[in-house]
Amino acid sequence: DAGITQSPRHKVTETGTPVTLRCHQTENHRYMYWYRQDPGHGLRLIHYSYGVKDTDKGEVSDGYSVSRSKTEDFLLTLESATSSQTSVYFCAISESIGTGSYEQYFGPGTRLTVT
């Protein structure tokens, strides 16, 4: 199994508070991703990173920011949490993005509830 951990695994927070989720990998993979999973939507990409300090937006990035100061850590911050951000958040990593499989390996997920 790929070495990916997410913390916290569960969190309940109040509307308007900032929240930071952490993804940590031990695989030294270059690419890291944050997704959210909601019923009926599958997984939607929030932000991704293609190297230390290199990040870009995905399809549902509003209200989220990310940072990657080390290869192994990718942080997702909800700047001011809203109820619409209640979701399960997955971190993923991949070795490359070119031809060939280079599938993404997923962390265990973080269940976030915004009240």
Partner 1 sequence: AQKITQTQPGMFVQEKEAVTLDCTYDTSDQSYGLFWYKQPSSGEMIFLIYQGSYDEQNATEGRYSLNFQKARKSANLVISASQLGDSAMYFCAMRELNTGGFKTIFGAGTRLFVKA
- Chain residues that interact with partner 1, rule: CB under 8 A: 31, 33, 35, 40-45, 48, 50, 56, 58-59, 88, 90, 92, 97-106, 108-109
Least distance from partner 1 to the Cβ atom of residue 73, Å: 18
Least distance from partner 1 to the Cβ atom of residue 49, Å: 9
Whole-angstrom distance, CA of residue 98 vs CA of residue 75: 24
Q: Give whichever of 3 and 109 is closer to partner 1, judged by the CB atom.
A: 109
Residue 91 phi, psi (nearest 5):
-100, 145
Count Cα neighbours of 50 within 13 Å in the Cβ-side half-sphere: 6
Least distance from partner 1 to the Cβ atom of residue 111, Å: 8
Q: Give whichever of 25 and 104 is closer to partner 1, judged by the CB atom.
A: 104
Least distance from partner 1 to the Cβ atom of residue 24, Å: 16
Residues 6+ apart with CB under 8 A from 115: 12, 13, 14, 15, 83
Q: Could you tell me which residues are beta bridge partners of residue 74?
A: 23
